[in-house]
């Protein structure tokens, strides 16, 4: 059993919790706005490649919730 969740598993988790796409985007945006370092750390915890992390964070900065 992995100590890390994957991105797919995390998305599935949020979907099962009842979050829609908009809420997930809002979550990324708030994460990036208030705790940018922790956002980076969280994405690394999901073991995403550096390139994808950069893209997600850039998109989160732009996102207008």
The contact set with another protein (CB under 8 A) reads 1-5, 9, 12-14, 16-19, 23-24, 26-27, 30-31, 34-35, 37-38, 40-42, 44-45
Distance of closest approach, residue 34 Cβ to another protein, in angstroms = 7
Distance (Å) of CA 46 to CA 27, 40, 56, 64, 65: 16, 10, 13, 24, 23
Toward another protein, which CB reaches closer, 17 or 62? 17
Distance of closest approach, residue 59 Cβ to another protein, in angstroms = 15
Q: What is the rounded CA–CA span in Å between residue 21 and residue 33?
A: 18
């Amino acid at each position: 059993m992995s100590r890390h969740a994957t991105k797919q598993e995390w998305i599935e988790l949020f979907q099962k919790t009842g979050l829609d796409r908009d809420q997930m985007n809002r979550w990324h945006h708030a994460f990036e706005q208030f705790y940018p370092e922790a956002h980076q750390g969280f994405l690394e915890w999901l073991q995403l490649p550096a390139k994808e992390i950069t893209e997600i964070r850039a998109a989160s900065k732009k996102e207008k919730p």
